[in-house]
Amino acid sequence: MRYSAFCCAVLTALTLGAGLVAVAYQTAEPQELVDPPMEQARHLLIDHAETDCRHQPLVIAHYTADDPASSRPVLRWSRIDGAVMYDVQVVKRHGGGPSPCYEPVMAVQRVYSTACELLLPAGCREPVLYWRVKPLNLRGQAIGPFSELEPLPVDWQKQDVVKPVPLSTYNQGQGQTLLYPVYDWIAMPDADHYEVEILDAPPENPNGTAPSTHRIAVYTTSIAHQYDSQARMSAQPFYWRVRAVRSDGSPLGVYSDASSYTTDPGRPCAAAIYGDSISHGGGSVSYSPADWEFSYGHYLAFPTVNLSFSGDTSRTAVERFDKDVAPFRPPYLLILMGTNSLRAGVEPADVIADMEQVKAKCLAYGIRPVFLTLPPLNPDNIRAAFGQDTVRSWREAIAAVNSYVKTQVHVDITPGMADERGELREDLAVDGLHLDPPGKRLMAEAINAAWPDITALPDEAWNSDDEL
């Protein structure tokens, strides 16, 4: 019951505009001794899913005897397709012999990220602990086995600087420039909430506790991520950092290291990406647009800037165009719009009218609009992930809008996305809406294949209503 209430509270907040989450949660389930050989034998007999090594996480950061952890270790592992959450287990050796058992030393940590910070029990003084992690799906069911037990040498006298560890990095590769950034960090187990500071210059007080004089915005959040509600564009870099706060309002440690990003309207790009959260990025409930594997721009064969906004409707796509798109003047604009509107019951004719306005604005600014067809939906998974219902006529509504899209310069990104019921395949989008890496790769493959033909089109192609 406690897990169900927590999961419901988290997922209810995760709408298209509210963003995704990276938190840790301690389960209260009783734990038995861990016997890896017996576990393996049992799973081979009764549970194929938990023995599928393709879905076994790999530890990607290691502590050693020469570089041990403190009592606040940070653990990292590889992402598993289809995993929404992970269970992290910390154990100590129980008994000797060639096949020892292991005894849990703390509650299982349920984590909505591929990294977590632990606060090891104060009474534990084992020189070496062990940990492992198991991937779980949207319903909390295992989709693969635990990772191999990883040694965790601990120096109980070691004092690390207490500060959040940022996860979001920008401008380091393909598709890594967002007009609306998202700030992610590793959740701290004893934090009540966090304060995220946006700066227009490096902080004059790095790793301090006081606000910077360069602060231009601040957000307060109880979870380990923050979507920026403001467009950030400048030829000069912005900076962000975060600090943890206790329930009494006092700082828990110091500000994180400051991270920078630049979204320069004057920097040339081959195209811009425009749309809602499907285009902004993120998926599998727990991953944000700053997790680049969940962005189709990451897989494109040409450089882009992402001007999308999570929660966009067809109407807001029209309303924000002049301030968000016009300053960049991209040669081409990849447009995927209307999904939020249609699934909420907006008439297809109204969405098409908004598309016409976006097209007109593009042409007025000398931008060539390239529309993308709308993917199907999976209403059951949307309800399971977000507690939201989808209008019953969604199939007909999407078909009507896609019929219009196909009269424009467009790319059909939808082949192969529907299952036998005509709904979005679960292996492409766990939450029924936001495409995961396999789905984002499908999108990019379709765009990459069509791009040479699109860039070869004459200007008059954008003024024709014939099907293209």
The tens digit of pLDDT for each residue in 62-117 reads: 999 999 999 999 999 999 999 999 999 999 988 766 677 899 999 999 999 999 99
Per-residue pLDDT for 411 more than 80?
Answer: yes
Query: pLDDT over 90 for what percent of the chain?
Result: 81
Are 21 and 223 spatial neighbours (Cβ–Cβ below 8 Å)? yes
Domains (range + CATH), the chain: 23-153 (2.60.40.10), 182-261 (2.60.40.10), 271-463 (3.40.50.1110)
Assign 123 a pLDDT band (cuts: 50, 70, 90): confident
Show the tokens assigned to 452: 């040479």
d(CA 131, CA 75): 9
- Name the residue with higher pLDDT: 367 or 160: 367
The H-or-E segment that residue 254 falls in is none
Supply the pTM of this predicted model: 0.88
d(CA 60, CA 66): 17
Per-residue pLDDT for 214 more than 50?
Answer: yes
The predicted pLDDT at position 117 comes to 97
Among 27-36, 290-299, 393-402, name the one with the lowest average pLDDT.
Answer: 27-36
Whose tokens are 């909505």? That residue is 112
- What's the pLDDT tens digit per position in 252-310? 999 999 999 999 999 999 999 999 999 999 998 889 999 999 999 999 999 999 999 99
Assign 31 a pLDDT band (cuts: 50, 70, 90): low
The predicted pLDDT at position 239 comes to 99
- What's the pLDDT tens digit per position in 156-202? 999 989 999 999 999 999 999 999 999 999 999 999 999 999 999 99
The predicted pLDDT at position 279 comes to 97
- Name the residue with higher pLDDT: 53 or 299: 299
Select from 59, 188, 80, 186 the least CA-distant residue to 130: 59
- Name the residue with higher pLDDT: 22 or 388: 388
The H-or-E segment that residue 229 falls in is none
- What's the pLDDT tens digit per position in 441-466? 999 999 999 999 999 999 999 875 54
Assign 47 a pLDDT band (cuts: 50, 70, 90): low
The predicted pLDDT at position 6 comes to 36
Are 129 and 152 spatial neighbours (Cβ–Cβ below 8 Å)? yes
d(CA 456, CA 402): 23
Provide Rg for the chain, Cα atoms: 24
The predicted pLDDT at position 5 comes to 36
Show the tokens assigned to 272: 């811009």
Show the tokens assigned to 86: 């992970």
In single-letter form, the type of residue at position 445 comes to E
Mean pLDDT computed over 8-18: 39
d(CA 167, CA 165): 7
The predicted pLDDT at position 100 comes to 78
d(CA 441, CA 81): 13
Per-residue pLDDT for 468 more than 90?
Answer: no
Per-residue pLDDT for 30 more than 80?
Answer: no
Helices (H) and strands (E) in the chain, counts: 10, 20
Residue 183's contacts (CB-CB under 8 Å, 6 or more residues apart) are 166, 168, 196, 225, 226, 228, 240, 242, 290
Q: Which residues pair with 215 in a beta bridge?
A: 199
The predicted pLDDT at position 32 comes to 60
Mean pLDDT computed over 42-48: 50
Are 337 and 211 spatial neighbours (Cβ–Cβ below 8 Å)? no
Q: Is 99 helix (H, G, I), strand (E, B) or coil?
A: coil
The predicted pLDDT at position 39 comes to 53
Mean pLDDT computed over 364-376: 97
- Name the residue with higher pLDDT: 17 or 348: 348
Select from 141, 74, 162, 447 the least CA-distant residue to 296: 447
Tell me how many degrees the CA angle 453-459-462 measures, rounded to the nearest 5.
Answer: 80
Whose tokens are 């309303």? That residue is 319
Q: Is 260 helix (H, G, I), strand (E, B) or coil?
A: strand
The H-or-E segment that residue 368 falls in is strand 368-372
In single-letter form, the type of residue at position 351 comes to V
The predicted pLDDT at position 10 comes to 38
The mean pLDDT of the chain is 89
Helix ranges (H only) for 295-423 are 314-319, 321-324, 339-343, 348-364, 379-386, 394-405
